[in-house]
């Protein structure tokens, strides 16, 4: 008899939610992760009384009340509202694109004035149906906002020109003609007080956990360890890159402790000019208004990915989406393996979508 009902590969949010649901049904779960910590990309580490988002800043937001209620079982959330600042050369703007941004950019006051300027800039471009991110952005906000706040940032972030990127990436950002700097339109938003790692710890209570353990090494020695595998690693790697490698963007975080209690006055400051090598600076203490005499900042450098690097963002262009379909077909033929999460499904998922998908899969699997 196998020792476990499920071997869960990856202790990120997907693996942890699935494990939690399986444990509630008295299933025996072993969770392995190749990293030295649980939590995947949402792992937070407390340093100098500040919860540092080690693999990138994470703000929880959702419009789905069921998902909000679900995550709130595991933590109290504060009332943090994400309102990033964008710096372009010596100019400073509010994000997302809203009346504060437009009034600063064009020295205007009313929505009508902003709309008139954008419409005039759009009319000169003659874009009828946006085919890529550049056309989508230009037809939403016109040339000025595109040139100053989108073009440089996006090219740094994705390492590709905007006309080679899918339009949906920019549709993530709200565009508003009100004075409202809330980055998200979602009804529910916040940061878990005390960090995300506590959430994952609670979800995994009752599971056996092995860190610093890579699935591909582990399974060679432990072929019959579980009846089923839940795999949240890279899908193409599972099939030994049979059809070629899917492309990702990697991120490098340069984290620094500074002897000041407030470095930039905001959690998120984006640097939108192509000349600045990093995309944004995160000042972690502002997420939870943490009391500390020092501060910790992370500069985010987006970089090209190669096999063996940590994958962060899937590059969902046509070429990669076609390739993913082939791996998806192979995955659906695997009777005893469930593929999930950002890496397992090659999707640019936010946390709420990952939870929803893990719950759906767990429901089908465990009922």
Active site residues: 172, 176, 249, 280, 300, 348, 350
- Smallest distance, ligand UDP to C-beta of residue 188, A: 17
Q: What does 95 bind: ligand UDP, ligand FAD, none (CB cut-off 5 to 8 Å by kind)?
A: ligand UDP
- Per the structure block, which two tokens stand in for 177? 């003609």
Q: What does 327 bind: ligand UDP, ligand FAD, none (CB cut-off 5 to 8 Å by kind)?
A: none
Q: Applying CB under 6 A, does 195 fall inside the site for ligand FAD? A: no
Which residue in 189, 232, 295, 316 binds ligand FAD (CB under 6 A)? 232
Q: Do β-strands 268-271 and 85-88 pair in parallel, antiparallel, or remain unpaired?
A: parallel
Alpha-helical regions (H) of the chain: 13-24, 65-72, 99-106, 111-123, 133-145, 151-158, 168-171, 197-203, 215-221, 235-238, 285-288, 318-332, 341-345, 351-366
Q: What does 270 bind: ligand FAD, ligand UDP, none (CB cut-off 5 to 8 Å by kind)?
A: ligand UDP
Q: Applying CB under 6 A, does 14 fall inside the site for ligand FAD? A: yes
- Per the structure block, which two tokens stand in for 297? 């900042």
Q: Applying CB under 6 A, does 40 fall inside the site for ligand FAD? A: yes
CA distance 75 to 355: 15
CA distance 48 to 41: 21
Tell me which residue has tokens 């972030």. Answer: 157
Which residue in 8, 23, 169, 230 binds ligand UDP (CB under 6 A)? 169
Asked whether the beta carbons of 241 and 311 are under 8 A apart, the reply is: no
CA distance 18 to 40: 14
Q: Applying CB under 6 A, does 85 fall inside the site for ligand UDP? A: no
Question: What residues from 116 to 145 belong to the interface with ligand UDP (CB under 6 A)?
Answer: none
Which residue ranges make up the site for ligand FAD (CB under 6 A)? 9-15, 32-35, 40-42, 56-60, 214-216, 232-233, 251, 312-313, 341-343, 349-352, 354
Which residue ranges make up the site for ligand UDP (CB under 6 A)? 86, 95, 149-150, 153-154, 157, 169-170, 172-173, 270, 272
């Amino acid at each position: 008899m196998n020792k476990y009902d499920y071997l869960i590969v990856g202790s990120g949010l997907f693996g942890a939610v699935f494990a939690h649901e399986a444990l509630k049904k008295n299933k025996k779960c072993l969770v392995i992760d190749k990293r030295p910590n649980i939590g995947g990309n949402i792992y937070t580490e407390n340093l100098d009384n500040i919860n540092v988002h080690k693999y990138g800043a994470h703000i929880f937001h959702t419009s789905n009340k069921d998902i909000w209620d679900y995550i709130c079982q595991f933590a109290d959330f504060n009332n943090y509202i994400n309102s990033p600042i964008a710096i372009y050369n010596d100019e400073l703007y509010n994000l997302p694109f809203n009346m504060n941004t437009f009034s600063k950019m064009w020295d205007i006051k009313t929505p009508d004035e902003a709309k008139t300027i954008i419409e005039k800039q759009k009319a000169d471009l003659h874009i009828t149906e946006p085919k890529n991110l550049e056309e989508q952005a230009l037809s939403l906000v016109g040339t000025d906002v595109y040139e100053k706040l989108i073009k440089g940032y996006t090219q740094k972030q994705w390492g590709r020109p905007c006309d080679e990127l899918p339009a949906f990436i920019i549709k993530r950002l709200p565009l508003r003609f009100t004075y409202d700097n809330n980055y998200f339109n979602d009804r529910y938003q916040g940061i878990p007080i005390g960090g995300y790692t506590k959430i994952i710890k609670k979800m995994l209570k009752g599971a056996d956990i092995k860190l610093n353990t890579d699935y591909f090494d582990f399974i060679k020695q432990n072929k019959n360890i579980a009846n089923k595998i839940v795999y949240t690693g890279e899908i193409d790697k599972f099939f030994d890159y049979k059809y070629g490698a899917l492309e990702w963007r990697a991120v490098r975080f340069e984290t620094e402790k500074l002897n000041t209690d407030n470095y930039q006055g905001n959690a998120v400051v984006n640097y939108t000019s192509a000349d600045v090598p990093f995309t944004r600076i995160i000042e972690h203490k502002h997420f939870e208004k943490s009391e500390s005499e020092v501060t910790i900042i992370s500069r985010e450098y987006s970089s090209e990915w190669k096999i063996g690097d940590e994958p962060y963002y899937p590059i969902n262009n046509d070429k990669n989406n076609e390739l993913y379909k082939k791996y998806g077909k192979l995955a659906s033929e695997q009777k005893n393996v469930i593929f999930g999460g950002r890496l397992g499904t090659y999707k640019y998922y936010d946390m709420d979508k990952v939870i929803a998908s893990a719950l759906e899969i767990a429901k089908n699997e465990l009922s």
